[in-house]
Each structure stands twice: as C-alpha cells, then as structure tokens.
Structure 1
Amino acid sequence: MKILLVNTWYYPNIEGGAEQSTKLLAENLVKAGNEVAVYCIDSETDEMTIEIINGVRIYRGNGGGYLKKIKNEGKFNKLWIKYKDIYNYKSNKEIMGVINDFNPEIVHTNCLNGISISIWKRIKSAKIPILHTLRDYALISPRGILEIKAERKGIYQIYLYLHKYICKKYSNIVDGVTAPSKFTVNIFTDNGYFKNAKCTRCVVNSIEYSNDELINNIKFQEKKQGEIINFLFVGRLLELKGLKKLVEEFKKIKDKNIRLIICGDGNLRKYILDSEVEDSRIIYKGKLTQAELKNIYMISDVLIVPSIWDEPFGRVVIEGNYYGMPVIASNRGGIPEIIDTLNGGISYNSEDNYELRNAIIKLSNRDLYSGFRQSIINNMYNYDISQQIENFISIYRKLLE
C-alpha cells in the first residue's frame, strides 16, 4: 500500500508527541511492507527538498515560510499563522506536487498547523481517501485547547465561532477520523465534527515495545535502595502542563529525602531556575536528547504528569511505566484511560492540590511500587506498535473499499 502521512514537522525536527508518533507510525508501516512518504513544512529553504530516512520518503516544504513566521513576535505574525491554519496557498500547491510525484493510495493527515485544513479539499479533488488523526484541539479552538466559557468574550467569541464553523465544514470532507483516546474522539463527534466520516475510532499511540527490555528496566528499578526518592517531570515548561502547581506543592512537603527532577524547555524556564535556587531539592536538567532522557528515566523513581488541561493522550505516561516507574497523573483528557489500562500509577483530581501533594507523599515509599510494576508487565502489550499498525492498516483498507 502507498501511504502519504502529513504532519507539520517531521524527524529530526521533533516538537512533541505528535512528531514522535508520526515517525514511529511511518517507519513501522515501512517495516510492515508498505511504501510510505511524509509531507511536512519544516524546511527553512524556499524549495522543497526530498530525502529518505529509515525507508521513509520525506518531502520537506516550507508552507510559505511558516517556520520563520512562528519564530517572530507581533500581532500581525500571530494573525498570519492562524490564517495559515485554515488556508495556505503554498501548502496546497506543495501537497499536489507530492501527490503527483508519489501517487499515494491514501493520505493520512495529523497535525496541520501551518499546512492548513484546506489541503483536505485538494486531496479530495484527486479522489484519494483521507484519514485524519486528532492530536490536538486545533479544529475546536485557535489556541489548541478546550476553551473555558468564561474566557470567551467580545471579539474573540465571534472569532471562535467563525473558526469552529469553518473547521466543521472542512471536517466533513474527511473519510475517516481517529484519535489516541476515546475522550478526544468523543469531544469532536459530540460537537458535530466529521459528520461524513465512514470510520470513527480510538487508536492509541504506541511505543516500540520489547517485553525483555521492559522486564530488564523493572529489574533495574527494583535493585534501587536508599532513602532518596527522585520524582520526575518531563515535558514543555508551561502552566497548562501543571508544572507551576507541581513545584509549589512539592515545596510544601518538608521531606529532605525527595527530589524533583525537571526536564524540558518553555516559558516557565526562568521560574524553574529560580525555584532551583530557592529549593535545593529541585533539579533542572534542561531540554534533553532521547538518549540523555533515557538515562534520567533510569535514575528516577516516580514520574509526575500534572497537566491542568485536557491532554489528547499522554505518551509520557507510557514511557514512564516502560522504564519501570509508577506514575502520578492528573485526571485530564485521555490520561486516565492510560492509567486505567496499565494500572501503573495514581490518578488524581487536577483541581485538588491536596490530592497531588498526598500522592507525592504516598509514593515516597518504595515498598508500594511492586504492585504497579507487575500490572505494567501484564498490560504494556496494549501499547505495542504492532497493534497500532494493524489497526491503521485495517482502517486504510476500509476507506479504500
């Protein structure tokens, strides 16, 4: 099967979980015997470049200078960027060039920031089935989040209404839709999106899973001794990720034997650096490579995912469990579905600071970890990439019928 994946960024330009998921999907579709190409707009040159990485053919456009625009401040640039999420002439032209060159049987779109949802119309004009995977809430809100009613005021409320209206209309072009959590699928279908979709399914994100490696990771964790317990946060340093709340609650716990390791980058970086000076138990490691991050996972004891927004999935929860750690995670978005499936940690009410603090205190005791680890071993197969590949191929075939 010839499959074209579409995402704003692609490896080695990794911005977040969507890029990791797209890379994993592309490479494993190739391993399953398919011919796979990716169209993205993360090139800094005006001309499209073509390269092959791990068997995947990558077409890198620039979407009319999207990367340069998002790096610049100013209201005009922000308006330009939001307009390009809806319509981008350059991306429309580039995607048709890719289709003519690669001749895919199906197009699977993912994050379309800057590429624009208008490419769905161009793809459909070529009579090619479209599957879209929801990895954020960009079709519901230009801010990419689920809006709080109190924040919908004045001109922005009108803008939000127009945004939703246009996105709903375009979503009816799509033949099939998936999301990595039932929560995300239901949010869109309940709000009237993708009315013409022949297939609407939850297909969870996955990891390259080795049972032997998982058991070795857990054996390594079980050998740890000593009074020091390392709690870990991995992700973008943003208030929506609950990081500020986590740090404030951690500071309230007067236990000299706990540490909070923070990895990532974002607009709370200065706040974290100041907190590191204020409390010596807080350790900031910066933004790390995957190899560096693996080492941090292995020296840590408990992962904390304190999001205060509705995460469409929560890949980091699986990663923490895979490295043998129990996870403390908020009850937002698709995160509780992972906790329920793996039984590898504690879910708490994101609006209750005491619950977060109490969970940290509770898991400062190593004796409680063994039950979580056995559940992880028993249930991790649910997130094996081979199952995701089977699910997507069955959907592709259904849309091609």
Structure 2
Amino acid sequence: MKIVIVNSLYTPHIIGGAEISTQILAETLASVADVHVLTLGGHGRAEGIREERINGVTVHRMPHGSLYWIGDAKRRGVLMRTARRLTDLYNPRMNEAVRERLAAIKPDLIHTQNLSGFGAGIWTAAAGLDVPIVHTLRDYSLLSPISSPIKNPLLARLYAMTTSGYSRHVSAVVGISSHILKRHTDAGLFPAAARKVIPNAVEGGIAASDKEFDRRPLRIGYFGRIEPEKGVRELVEAAMSLPTDVVERIVICGEGSLRAKLADGCREDARFVFPGKVKPAEARRMMGEADVNFVPSVWEEPFGRVIIESYQVGTPVYATDVGGIPDAVYDPEEFLFPPGSAAAIRAKILSFHSLPAADKRRIQAACLKHCRGFTQAALLDRHLDLYDQTLAGGEYSAVRTAVGQVH
C-alpha cells in the first residue's frame, strides 16, 4: 500500500505535539507500507520540491505558497497570522502544487493531518484523483483562523462554513479524542465521512518508577507550558495553601509567559521548583520522581499526551474535565476535577495524600495497564483497520473510541 500523509510541518521542524504525532504515525506505517509525507518548507518556489528519506519515510518539502512559512509564525503578529490563515480558505497555487505531486506519487490512500499553510482546499485537489481521503483532527484550526474557536464563536462559525464544504470530499475522519471529533462534526464538518476515534501513540517504555508509597508529604509535578490557559496558577495557589506535612515539593517544569511571575510569587516558599524547559529524558525522570502529577488545563486540550507519559513511568495524574483529557485519564470519576478551581485541586491533593500505600500501589498498576492502549502497536492496528474499511468503501456507523464514548 502506498500512503501519502500531508502535514504542515515535519521533523526536524517541530512546533508541538501534532508534528511529533504525525512523525510517529508515518514511521509506524512505514513498517508495512510505502509512506510519503507532503509538508511545507521555508524555501521559495524557485528551489522546487526537496525530497529526502527520514527513517524509512519519503519526505517531500514543498515551497510554502502563503504570506510566510508556518515555521516562522512566532515572529509574526496577530494580524499577519490571521491573514495567513484566511488565505488557507482558498489557495489555488497550493492546490495545484499538491495535485501535481499526488499525481506523480500515485498513492492508494491520502491521510491529511494539520493543513495550516496548505488549506483545506487541497481536499478538492486530492478528490480529483479518485483516491480516498482520511483526515485526522489534531487541533481546532479548521474551525477558526485565530486562537481557540471557543473564544471566537462568530468567526468560527463563518470559517467553518467554508471548510465544511471542502470536508465533503473526505471519506473518513479521525479524532485524537472523542471531544475534538464531536466539536467538528457538531459544527457541520465531514458530513459524509465515516467517523472514528484513534488516540495518539505516545513513545516511551512502560516501567513503574520506584516510589515510597508509605511517605505522607507529597511530591507534586506539573509538566507543560506555563500559560494562563494551562491552569498552572490555580495549581500553585492550591499547593501553596497546604502545609509541609501534606506537600513537600512542587516541580513546575516548562516555559511560558507566567513562569517568571509565578516563580517570583513562590520565592518565599522553598518547596517550589521551576527548572524551565528540560530535555524529554529529564522530564521523564522528574515525572517518575513525583508521587502525583497534575494537568490543570482550563482550555479544551485536543488530547492529553503528558498524562500518558506520566502513566508510562507509573505516576498517577489528576486532570481537568475539559476537551480530550477525559479520554486519556484512568478512572475519570476519581481523577478528573472541574477547570479553573484551586479549591478543586486542593481537594484532590488532600484526597491522594490520605490514601493508604496499598491503594497507591493499585493505582500505579492500573495506570501502567491503561497506557498500553496508547502504544505504536495499537496505533498501527487501528489505522490499518481504518484504511481497510475506507478502501473497501465501508463505513463506521458510530464513533468508536479507544477509551470511552463521545460525550
């Protein structure tokens, strides 16, 4: 089988989890298929398409056909970023370039991912070749040109009206969580597509870290961007309100606009540590050293990668009941809490602190078992099943999730 994956960026150009997950998918599929990736480079049209092989995957870096390369987005203002995203609504130059490259590759199936810089219009180019299209939803960029669609409901509605027309060419749509899939289908996108939920695979070995389950003062961790929408301020407030016999150490690992302010506010409390952004191996080590980690996001996270990463080292996670997070959490009834509430976080810290050692051991074993549903082997099996159904013209009558139902 020859598969073409389309994504805005591809390694070594990585902005966030979407690029990581796309690379994992491409390299996993390369073990059983001829995989090509169409992506955008920072070079001009005069240089043409650059081809290279990366870990068994043929990568085609196409000149960007927009106001600027998406890899330079951090250096652009809001108006420029919005204007570039609006050009995604109709970009005939990009559509034609993609059509020509697909015609040359002759794939059996096309699997699109994030399309910022390409534009959803490339679905019409692909459809003209009579090749089935699968699309994976990894963010909300099809619903709004700026920020989160929740913050821009009118703009999101207008934007979705255009992308929904293009989405009629898609044969099957995948959500990395039941929430993100429902958000898009409720907005009218992918009306003719079969639907399925396939969570991201999260790389990393699965092995329990040694823990002193009988210890009472807790070591708490947070790993991610330190921004208002991540709920870090509420976590700091909750932990700071508790005595040293309940909370011994709080590691806030990452960078962001709130880091300096939060670190300054905690300077009189030696329990708080702000190590900044660290390498993945170091973050994994610190995750394993924590007794419990928190993911207190207040915005609709498409997925909860850091939750699975924490489970892989045997550390349980309390997280907010928003977005795609519930699909990733073990025992949602116990380990979820409402967003934006320091009081709710404080209650969960006290709840975990009161657990006997036997319960903590049981929870660790359950977390290790739970994260096995997010391996590359599981990812491969689910995608091959989806591709077989799509190529055979089959449909999924309902959304099938890996770890829950659409809510």
TM-score of the aligned structures, taking structure 2 as reference length = 0.85
Which of 170, 174, 179 is the aligned partner of 1:174?
170
Which of 112, 117, 124 is the aligned partner of 1:114?
117
Matches within 5 A, 1:199-348: 199-208=194-203, 213-214=205-206, 217-218=207-208, 220-222=209-211, 229-255=218-244, 257-340=247-330, 346-348=335-337
Any conservation in 2 of the 1:344–1:372 contact (CA below 8 Å)?
Answer: no
Give the aligned partner of residue 3 of structure 1: 3
Alignment length (residue pairs): 384
CA offset digits 1:140-168 (Å, max 9, x no partner): 233353415xx65xxxx3x4332121121
How many Å apart are 1:252 and its aligned residue? 2.2
Q: Decide whether aligned partners of structure 1 residues 345 and 275 sit closer, same or farther in structure 2, where only a CA change above 3 A counts.
A: farther
Distance 1:225 1:276 in 2: 28
Distance 1:85 1:325 in 2: 41
Distance 1:62 1:316 in 2: 33
Distance 1:180 1:68 in 2: 23
Distance 1:93 1:297 in 2: 46
Distance 1:94 1:184 in 2: 29
How many Å apart are 1:314 and its aligned residue? 0.9
Q: Higher helix proportion, which one?
A: 1
Between 1 and 2, higher relative CO (CA 8 Å, sep ≥ 6) is seen in 2
Distance 1:365 1:11 in 2: 44
Q: Is 1:23 aligned to 2:15, yes or no?
A: no
Matches within 5 A, 1:335-374: 335-340=325-330, 346-364=335-353, 367=357, 368-374=359-365
Q: Which amino acid aligns with 2:199?
A: V
Give the aligned partner of residue 136 of structure 1: 139
Give the aligned CA root-mean-square deviation in angstroms: 2.6
Any conservation in 2 of the 1:96–1:123 contact (CA below 8 Å)?
Answer: yes
Any conservation in 1 of the 2:217–2:244 contact (CA below 8 Å)?
Answer: no
Q: Runs of 4 or more off by more than 4 Å in structure 1?
A: 223-228, 342-345
Any conservation in 1 of the 2:143–2:157 contact (CA below 8 Å)?
Answer: no
Give the aligned partner of residue 80 of structure 2: 77
Local SS of the residue matching 1:283:
strand
Q: Decide whether aligned partners of structure 1 residues 294 and 91 sit closer, same or farther in structure 2, where only a CA change above 3 A counts.
A: farther
Q: Structure 1 regions of 5+ residues with no counterpart?
A: none
How many Å apart are 1:279 and its aligned residue? 3.4
Distance 1:181 1:293 in 2: 24
Q: Is 1:44 aligned to 2:42, yes or no?
A: yes
Identity across the alignment (%)? 29
How many Å apart are 1:173 and its aligned residue? 1.7
Q: Decide whether aligned partners of structure 1 residues 231 and 106 sit closer, same or farther in structure 2, where only a CA change above 3 A counts.
A: same
Q: Is 1:400 aligned to 2:391, yes or no?
A: yes
Q: Decide whether aligned partners of structure 1 residues 388 and 267 sit closer, same or farther in structure 2, where only a CA change above 3 A counts.
A: same
CA offset digits 1:257-304 (Å, max 9, x no partner): 422212223332332443453533222222222223222223222111
Any conservation in 2 of the 1:84–1:113 contact (CA below 8 Å)?
Answer: no
Any conservation in 2 of the 1:329–1:346 contact (CA below 8 Å)?
Answer: yes
Any conservation in 1 of the 2:296–2:320 contact (CA below 8 Å)?
Answer: yes
